[in-house]
Chain A
Amino acid sequence: MWIVNRNANCSLIKTSTSFLMNLFVLALLIGNATMSSAEDFATSWPSIQNFIDSTHLIDIKQGSELSGKVSDSSAGGFETAQGNFVSFKQWYQTNWTDTKTVWMTEINPNLGVIWGFSTGEKAEKYEISRSVTIGFAYSTQIDKTSFLSIRGTTILGGNLREKSCTADYGDIGGIQEVNCRLAASPLPPSETLTHLFNDKPLNKDLFFIRYIKYF
């Protein structure tokens, strides 16, 4: 369930229907913001077919900077005080890599709504949460030789969170909560916790303005 803020009259619409329907409603609402009256809105309600025809896949990608970060950092392992090898794989290997798709639905020749989602990924000691991408693309011809395009997107969710481990250091350190990856490092156990992954997606908020002039 999620909430869309309707620009035209600031009312809130809540829906618990499917994810695609949510995005569909979002596209309509943004499109509606450009219309002048309720009659226009009623007569322009597009069919599902129109929606599909005006929607284009603009990005699909498996793997992200965050999943790459976990993958890189989780290679290897360490030996315990008694010499038993502890592999990081058991904690950080995932069966599914975060996959993201982004679409654009054309509202009119100048305006498009960007939307998408990612699946997230997780293993025993971390999780990259699912995310939703929303945004817009607007372009216009200012005069015969000048073009302006604006694009903005934001990602909701998609955060990387790493869980801690419980390590037993025996007589010298007792049982302590630690960062699994740094349990055998020279860092004091409590300080390893500050190095737990806790990251937002790269390029969480993007805004581009492009001006082109032909001479």
Chain B
Amino acid sequence: MKIKLITIACGILLSNIAMAQTLQSWMSPEVGDAWRQNYKGSGVTITVVDDFRSRSRFTGNLGYGVANMRHGEWTYNEALMIAPSARLRADDFNTAGAVALNRGLNVLNLSYGMYIAPNVAFRWGSQEQSIVNYATNGNAVISKAAGNDAVDINSVNRNGQIDALNYSLKGTKSAIFVGALSKNGTTAAPAQMASYSNTAGTDTTVQKQFLVVGVEGNKTGLYGTSFAAPIVSGYAAIIGSKFTSANATQITNQLLNTARQDTIASYNASIHGRGEASLTRALAPVGIR
């Protein structure tokens, strides 16, 4: 039996979009750079697959006051705040149906894991199967939280389980595993890996799909790779609004190929994968004359 676990250690969806249009201190300064031209993910759909129904709530503050919300409401709001012009959809992870895609570029945010004992045969339900299919076929950018067990991403955790969703997304065309740095890194002040975050590990296939971003929980009260994945989801939407004819695989590769290592203290591919996602570099040309 698989159990869906939200990947935080530790509602209200933003009804006023204006609240989402402010650069917050927990965001990378690169987001502000990208926002100056008023293009913040328009034409792209971000579907947040998460908990939108349970009674479980968490307290945090994304910059518009302390709130007590469900896990999915936090991740939804975070993605919306990064890419305020994107279409956001909430898809409760306890529903049975396949995740539907909209026209144009689709980004799926998965800030949860599905844990099973290793070597146990399992069969995906239609919801997760659709997600894995989208990643395999490159139909949508999949931003998947790496997990908070402080182990290599496909290793067993302290309970002797692995995240089967990570396992199934490994090596797919358009899935990105997102780990957490303790802050947004800069060359002047490189960031460390967050103590709880899963790492890329020695598997080079995983390393090539692994990114990290700063999760400044000291400012939001929200810790965990759950809050790393929505940042990458928002970045993907902003990149998709610039390169309007690019497909999900191209957007995924752009994020992975433009990650930077010079903002990470003691960068190591087996820990940080490709490096820290860089929105400004992902938007920039390779060359210009």
Q: Which A residues have a C-beta under 8 Å from some C-beta of B?
A: 78-83, 86, 165-173, 178, 180, 182-189
Q: Which residue of A lies closest to B244 (CB)?
A: A188
On chain A, the residues within 8 Å of B243 by CB distance are 169, 172-173, 188
By a beta-carbon cutoff of 8 Å, the part of chain B in contact with chain A is 34-37, 39-40, 238-239, 241-244, 246, 250-251, 253-254, 257-258, 260, 262, 280-289
Say which residue of A83, A183, A186, A188 sits within 8 Å of B285 (CB atoms): A183
Given contacts A172-B246, A172-B250, A184-B280, contact A167 B37 (CB under 8 A): no
- Beyond A79-B281, A80-B281, A172-B251, whether A187 also contacts B242 by CB under 8 A is yes
Assembly CA distance A180 to B288 (angstroms): 8
Q: Is the interface of A mostly helix, strand, loop or mixed?
A: mixed
- Whether A166 and B289, one on each chain, are in contact in the complex, defined by CB atoms closer than 8 angstroms, is yes
B283 touches A185 (CB 8 A): yes
What residues of chain B lie closer than 8 Å to A82, measured between beta carbons? Answer: 258, 281, 286
A78 adjacent to B253 (CB under 8 Å): no
Q: Which of A79, A165, A168, A184 has the most CB of B within 10 A?
A: A184
A165 to B287 CA separation, bound complex (whole angstroms) = 10
Known: A184-B284, A184-B285, A189-B242. 20 other contacts (CB 8 A): A80-B285, A81-B285, A82-B258, A82-B286, A83-B260, A86-B288, A166-B289, A168-B285, A168-B287, A171-B254, A172-B239, A172-B254, A173-B285, A184-B280, A185-B39, A185-B283, A186-B35, A186-B238, A186-B283, A187-B242
Query: Nearest CB to that of B254 among chain A residues?
Result: A172
* Leading 8 A-B pairs by shortest Cβ distance: A186-B39, A184-B284, A167-B285, A185-B37, A167-B288, A168-B287, A170-B286, A172-B250
Does B280 contact A168, Cβ atoms closer than 8 Å? no
Structural contact, B242 and A188, CB atoms closer than 8 A: yes
Q: How far is the CB of B3 from chain A (nearest CB, A)?
A: 38
**Closest CB of chain A to B2's CB: distance in Å?**
35
Q: What chain A residues lie within 8 Å of B257 (beta carbons)? A: 81
B43's nearest neighbour on chain A, judged by CB, is: A188
B254 to chain A, nearest CB (A): 5
